[in-house]
């Protein structure tokens, strides 16, 4: 077993609120400089820049998982990660059908830019990606699992767009094996009765390159593959003795 520094919550310029410098190649390069080894791209309600990001990350020696930050119908953010691009693209197409039929207003929300792994602009997404999908939070974990993926609630300590803010409590019936917190999470949050024993880690949720955090947390895997990383998440992000 080995431990790998990870950050599974990153946004590219395809997120309307993502900085235009957050190109796939820039992101990958900054992740490598930060000492990360396993990373994931999680734009809002789309996996559209995952292919170039994964290719750019591979070039930097990183394991990259394709992912998405799904907005549920309750307006809670849920990180969804997949074993490969085919699964991610299929999930992304399904979520697209569950988004409101609205157009993005780039002047208000920011542009949503598709790029290739050389950071060439391929086009702009005109659908409104920042809205809430019609996927319910009780269905998110099972839906991601049906595409071979894992889903868990994002930044649960935040006062908006989070499971705790919008639903009030952690219900095991939602089916999440882990929780993500923000870097500002109060240290006593997990003393709450509903959160006691819930495994958790943080995600940088970087919308700008300078928000990518240096390596500080690790997953313990038998091999550095998407399947092993997803299995680690499914099994509650266990720490392990005997790591090398
Ligand atoms: Zn979020
Ligand atoms: Zn996010």
* Residue 179's CATH number: 3.20.20.140
Instruction: Report how far residue 126's alpha carbon sits from residue 16's, in angstroms, rounded to the nearest whole number.
Output: 10
Average pLDDT over the chain, rounded to an integer: 95
Instruction: Report how far residue 145's alpha carbon sits from residue 20's, in angstroms, rounded to the nearest whole number.
Output: 31
Q: Is residue 244 part of a domain?
A: no
Report the separation in Å between the CA atom of 132 and the middle of ligand 2, taken as the mean of its atom positions: 14
Residues 6 or more apart in contact with residue 88 via CB below 8 angstroms:
47, 50, 66, 67, 68, 82, 147, 149
Nearest 5 degrees, angle CA 159-CA 101-CA 109?
50
pLDDT of residue 70: 98
Residue 244 has pLDDT above 50, yes or no: no
Instruction: Report how far residue 153's alpha carbon sits from residue 179's, in angstroms, rounded to the nearest whole number.
Output: 6
Residue 243 has pLDDT above 60, yes or no: no
- Nearest ligand atom owner, CA of 157: 1
Report the separation in Å between the CA atom of 10 and the middle of ligand 2, taken as the mean of its atom positions: 7
Q: Is residue 37 part of a domain?
A: yes
Closest CA to 62 of 26, 37, 34, 33: 37
Distance of CA 107 to the CA centre of its chain: 25
Instruction: Report how far residue 28's alpha carbon sits from residue 133's, in angstroms, rounded to the nearest whole number.
Output: 28
Closest CA to 134 of 75, 46, 67: 75
pLDDT of residue 132: 97
Q: Is residue 190 part of a domain?
A: yes
Q: Is residue 96 part of a domain?
A: yes
Residues of the domain holding 119:
2-234
Instruction: Report how far residue 82's alpha carbon sits from residue 68's, in angstroms, rounded to the nearest whole number.
Output: 9
Cβ atoms of residues 112 and 125 within 8 Å: yes
Q: Is residue 243 part of a domain?
A: no
Report the separation in Å between the CA atom of 162 and the middle of ligand 1, taken as the mean of its atom positions: 7
Predicted structure pTM score = 0.96
- Determine the 3-state secondary structure of 42 from DSSP: strand
Report the separation in Å between the CA atom of 112 and the middle of ligand 2, taken as the mean of its atom positions: 14
Instruction: Report how far residue 80's alpha carbon sits from residue 144's, in angstroms, rounded to the nearest whole number.
Output: 6
Task: Please say whether the dihedral angle defined by the alpha carbons of residues 46, 86, 181 and 163, taken in this order, is positive or negative.
Answer: positive
Number of folded domains that form the chain: 1
pLDDT of residue 239: 80
């Amino acid at each position: 077993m080995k431990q790998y520094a990870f950050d599974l919550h990153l946004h590219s310029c395809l997120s309307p609120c993502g900085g235009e410098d957050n190109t796939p190649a820039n992101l990958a390069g900054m992740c490598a400089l930060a000492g990360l080894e396993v990373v994931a791209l999680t734009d809002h309600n789309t996996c559209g820049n995952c292919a170039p990001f994964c290719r750019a990350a591979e070039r930097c020696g990183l394991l990259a998982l394709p992912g998405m930050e799904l907005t549920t119908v309750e307006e809670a953010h849920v990180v969804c990660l997949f074993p490969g691009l085919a699964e991610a693209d299929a999930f992304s197409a399904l979520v697209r059908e569950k988004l409101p039929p609205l157009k993005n207003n780039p002047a208000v929300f920011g542009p949503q830019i598709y790029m290739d792994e050389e950071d060439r602009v391929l086009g702009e997404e005109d659908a409104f990606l920042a809205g809430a999908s019609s996927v319910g939070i009780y269905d998110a974990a099972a839906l991601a699992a049906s595409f071979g993926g894992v889903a868990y609630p994002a930044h649960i300590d935040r006062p908006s767009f989070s499971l705790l803010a919008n639903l009030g409590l952690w219900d095991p019936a939602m089916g999440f094996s882990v929780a993500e917190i923000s870097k500002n999470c109060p240290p006593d949050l997990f003393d709450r009765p509903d959160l006691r024993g819930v495994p958790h880690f943080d995600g940088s949720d970087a919308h700008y390159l300078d928000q990518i955090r240096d390596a500080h947390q690790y997953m313990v895997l038998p091999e550095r593959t998407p399947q092993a990383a997803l299995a680690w998440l499914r099994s509650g992000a266990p720490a392990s003795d005997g790591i090398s």
